[in-house]
Structure 1
Amino acid sequence: MKSHRADNDVMQGFHTRFSDHAVVRAVWCRSERLALSKRSQIEPDANCDFIFCFSEEGDIVSSIFAGFDTVAQPFEATPGNFTYVGIQLQPQAAASMIGADMKDCVNRRLALSELLRSRQSRIWDALERCSRSALAGPEQLSLAHLQPLFGQVRENPLLDALHKALKSRPFLDTIAEVADDQGFSIRTLERRSLQSTGLTPRELIRIYRFVRARKLYRPGISFAELALAGGFADQAHMSREFRRIVGRPPSRYFQRRCRPDSRQRLFDLIQ
């Protein structure tokens, strides 16, 4: 069904970051009232989320785990009044919390009822309580509801160093530098990255480059400048990566993104 814009559509929400928390990176909440269905896409951002969808009455409509993405994922919002709450995890936390092979979660949205299985009750209850606290607004948001889950998350200083280095310097040689700094081979580093995120360091670099270019873009900047600032080899390299990740070149991507009525502004809130 083709989507149309309606004058009475309402979208609002908040995004609270926890930069120093060992497990939770952010909690976001997005409420929307739509008269008609709308199609969009969720872009890769090197994060994974537990996402609850609540009805206007506060009932849970759906609950999923969104794994790490390497390409944009389609999303269709249905008519009605819904609120989405996402609990965004630190890179090393997801694998140890859900006990699943993260490679099986890449580019997928998995129902929590199927993913958690025998540990469903305890983890589900904690996630639901935290999500419901977010429904009341950012002032009522409490991570204390998740405290029972924190003990099972295994710290991994190597992966912390990897993600921080790749995010701040999205260049290929960073992989070798981080491996050398931590006293590991590149092979070991890649294995640890796959275990934690389902992605190789090179795949993470590609995502971080895309996210970096998206954040650095300003009207009037040349794409050659943007490519250099984003860590791409050149403008052609950036164009190829944008086509691979979001299905369009930078010129079309930013033209559409910067439209006043662009629905992508809604998803800027959670990425």
Structure 2
Amino acid sequence: MYREGAVAEIPGAVRWASVSRGEGAVRVLPDGCLDLLWSSRAGLLVAGPDRTAHLSVSVPGERWVGLRLPPGTGPAVFGVPADELRDLRVPLDDLWGPAAAELADRVAASAGSAATPAGGSPAGSPLAGGPATSIAAVLEEVALRRLRAAGGPDPLGARVAARLAAGATVAATAAEVGLGARALHRRSRLLFGYGPKTLARILRMRRALDLAGAGTPLAEVAALAGYADQAHLTREVTEFAGVPPTRILPAGA
């Protein structure tokens, strides 16, 4: 009950929608991103960058629509440094005040009927389209407007995240962007919520899990992603995700 897609006007951003089946907590892995969220139960929220996995608990039938902003972009949209939101889920009106109430009204109008048809899926489910798509469009329009008003994201964010995602060391990344180690750490906390070393480890974990999910054996994944060995990979994933990679990967991966 989950789908996602790219957002053309915000490079690297992803729109997503889901409907909870109420089968327990969903493990959301850290990724260096900030999300603008709408829940049919909780309303508008901001999800800060997580340092470890967030266990999201929803009621059966709860609908979610989200806009996931790429690393370094969220602060320009939300107007606060990323480290102030680290490991938090914050009501949007705590950040935007009256502007959040106006957005909530627009989202409510887009949501339309939330009734569940007899024998069918909830309106707005990722399988049904309709309201979920309309809500996502509202979130994207507001985020894009605020991003433009801020003069766009800090270009340093995309450069640093791209280099670290490609496996560059923190020292090499700092040299390439023309910053000293302390300055890069300070800017990274503002842009990503944590220092460049932590971001690099999180991005490496995501890359490793993508490889493993595509069917690459874990021992080979460890080598390709730059871990010392499979045991190192397992320790890193367990630290960030709370469980070993075999608990995260789909059956048969």
TM-score of the aligned structures, taking structure 1 as reference length = 0.73
Which amino acid in the other structure matches residue 107 of structure 1? D
Tell me the equivalent position of 2:53.
72
Tell me the equivalent position of 1:110.
90
User: Judging changes above 3 Å, is the alpha-carbon distance between structure 1 residues 253 and 37 closer, same or farther for their aligned structure 2 residues?
Assistant: closer
Tell me the equivalent position of 1:212.
207
Tell me the equivalent position of 2:121.
none
TM-score of the aligned structures, taking structure 2 as reference length = 0.78
User: Judging changes above 3 Å, is the alpha-carbon distance between structure 1 residues 138 and 216 closer, same or farther for their aligned structure 2 residues?
Assistant: same
Q: Partners in 1 of 2:159 and 2:8 — Cα distance? A: 14
User: Judging changes above 3 Å, is the alpha-carbon distance between structure 1 residues 125 and 188 closer, same or farther for their aligned structure 2 residues?
Assistant: farther
Tell me the equivalent position of 2:182.
187
Deviation string 1:229-270 (CA, Å, 9 cap, x unpaired) is: 1222222221211221122233x425xx3238xxxxxxxxxx
Tell me the equivalent position of 1:266.
none
User: Judging changes above 3 Å, is the alpha-carbon distance between structure 1 residues 233 and 128 closer, same or farther for their aligned structure 2 residues?
Assistant: farther
Output the aligned Cα RMSD: 3.1
Tell me the equivalent position of 1:47.
33
Counterpart secondary structure, 1:188: helix
Residue segments in structure 1 that go unaligned for 5+ positions in a row: 1-10, 55-59, 261-271
Tell me how far 1:130 sits from its aligned partner.
8.2
Alignment equivalent of 1:244, drawn from 226, 239, 247 = 239
Tell me how far 1:152 sits from its aligned partner.
2.9
Q: Please say if residues 188 and 196 of structure 2, whose CA atoms lie closer than 8 Å, have aligned partners that are also in contact.
A: yes
Alignment equivalent of 1:26, drawn from 2, 14, 17 = 14
Residue segments in structure 2 that go unaligned for 5+ positions in a row: 113-123
Q: Partners in 1 of 2:136 and 2:44 — Cα distance? A: 18
Q: Please say if residues 53 and 84 of structure 1, whose CA atoms lie closer than 8 Å, have aligned partners that are also in contact.
A: yes
User: Judging changes above 3 Å, is the alpha-carbon distance between structure 1 residues 89 and 127 closer, same or farther for their aligned structure 2 residues?
Assistant: farther
| Identical pairs, percent | 23
Tell me how far 1:97 sits from its aligned partner.
2.4
Q: Please say if residues 53 and 240 of structure 2, whose CA atoms lie closer than 8 Å, have aligned partners that are also in contact.
A: yes
Counterpart secondary structure, 2:97: helix
**Which of the pair is proportionally richer in strand?**
1
User: Judging changes above 3 Å, is the alpha-carbon distance between structure 1 residues 126 and 259 closer, same or farther for their aligned structure 2 residues?
Assistant: same
Q: Partners in 2 of 1:152 and 1:122 — Cα distance? A: 18
Tell me the equivalent position of 1:158.
156
Q: Please say if residues 66 and 110 of structure 1, whose CA atoms lie closer than 8 Å, have aligned partners that are also in contact.
A: yes
Which amino acid in the other structure matches residue 27 of structure 1? R
Deviation string 1:197-222 (CA, Å, 9 cap, x unpaired) is: 21111111111111011100158744
User: Judging changes above 3 Å, is the alpha-carbon distance between structure 1 residues 194 and 147 closer, same or farther for their aligned structure 2 residues?
Assistant: closer
User: Judging changes above 3 Å, is the alpha-carbon distance between structure 1 residues 136 and 187 closer, same or farther for their aligned structure 2 residues?
Assistant: same
Counterpart secondary structure, 2:251: coil
Counterpart secondary structure, 2:57: strand
User: Judging changes above 3 Å, is the alpha-carbon distance between structure 1 residues 186 and 125 closer, same or farther for their aligned structure 2 residues?
Assistant: farther
Of the structure 1 ranges 219-228 and 103-112, higher mean CA displacement relative to structure 2 is found in: 219-228
Counterpart secondary structure, 1:74: strand
Q: Please say if residues 67 and 106 of structure 1, whose CA atoms lie closer than 8 Å, have aligned partners that are also in contact.
A: yes
Which amino acid in the other structure matches residue 177 of structure 2? Q
Alignment equivalent of 2:5, drawn from 1, 13, 16 = 16
Q: Partners in 2 of 1:219 and 1:119 — Cα distance? A: 42
